[in-house]
Chain A
Amino acid sequence: DQQVKQNSPSLSVQEGRISILNCDYTNSMFDYFLWYKKYPAEGPTFLISISSIKDKNEDGRFTVFLNKSAKHLSLHIVPSQPGDSAVYFCAAHTHGSSNTGKLIFGQGTTLQVKP
């Protein structure tokens, strides 16, 4: 049962334009959502996050939107740069005990930004 889904395996955009990466989830108990970026031969790098009590979080060129009623979140990158080309993972945090918990990841979307 895939609780976090990224239905677009790949996305290609022109440099300077907006990149929109989408993510859907099924579990309404998720309390925190994160986006990670991964380059080949490296581990995932934290990009931006959003609490389930908010609907938008912005950090420079990156904005994450959360639509709880639709169980959908999206990552907007504006303007897109060639260095943004990577695999992007959406992850949802589910609470364990004593402030611990685990991340459940989507399958990833490969973003290619063309110069």
Chain B
Amino acid sequence: DAGVTQSPTHLIKTRGQHVTLRCSPISGHKSVSWYQQVLGQGPQFIFQYYEKEERGRGNFPDRFSARQFPNYSSELNVNALLLGDSALYLCASSSPGTGTKNIQYFGAGTRLSVL
């Protein structure tokens, strides 16, 4: 089975631009979470979606938004990019309601560089 897939793998944008990152969860997983990891730090929670509804939001500005589609894939959108948005963006999927509900499985991430 395929794991969590993210696209693109790398992205270079300039300040003020908009970016869309994409994620496909593990087959059968209905929950998708997004994390931001800056160099030298652990991943920081941005959003969680379950059954196409936002179920949690971290301490990020409104420039960050996300959505989940009927096939459980997800997009993370960031508007008005700032230099500080440069980071590795990680998507994780999980299967709430099962014995492994608390385990989140991560994709390889999208490396975003804002110039």
Contacts and interface: CB of A to CB of B under 8 A. Distances in A.
Contact of B56 (A31, A34, A102): A102
Interface in B20-51: 31, 33, 35, 40-45, 48, 50
A107 B33 contact: no
Contact of B48 (A96, A105, A106, A107): A96
Interface residues of A, number: 29
B43 A89 contact: yes
Given A34-B102, A96-B56, A100-B55, A106 B42 contact: yes
Contacts, number: 73
A40 B73 CA distance: 25
Nearest to A4: B42
Contact of B33 (A45, A46, A89, A102): A102
Contact of B42 (A43, A100, A102, A108): A108
Interface residues of B, number: 28
Contact of B55 (A36, A41, A97): A97
Contacts of A105: 35, 42-44
Given A100-B48, A102-B48, A41 B108 contact: yes
Interface string A77-115: 000000000000101010011111111111110000000
30 contacts: A32-B102, A34-B103, A43-B90, A43-B106, A43-B107, A43-B108, A44-B90, A44-B106, A45-B106, A46-B104, A46-B105, A46-B106, A49-B102, A89-B42, A96-B48, A96-B56, A98-B50, A98-B96, A99-B101, A100-B48, A100-B56, A101-B48, A101-B102, A102-B45, A102-B56, A103-B35, A104-B45, A106-B42, A107-B42, A108-B41
Given A97-B55, A98-B96, A102-B48, 17 more contacts: A34-B103, A41-B108, A45-B106, A49-B103, A91-B42, A93-B102, A96-B48, A96-B56, A100-B50, A100-B96, A101-B102, A102-B45, A102-B56, A105-B35, A105-B42, A107-B40, A107-B41
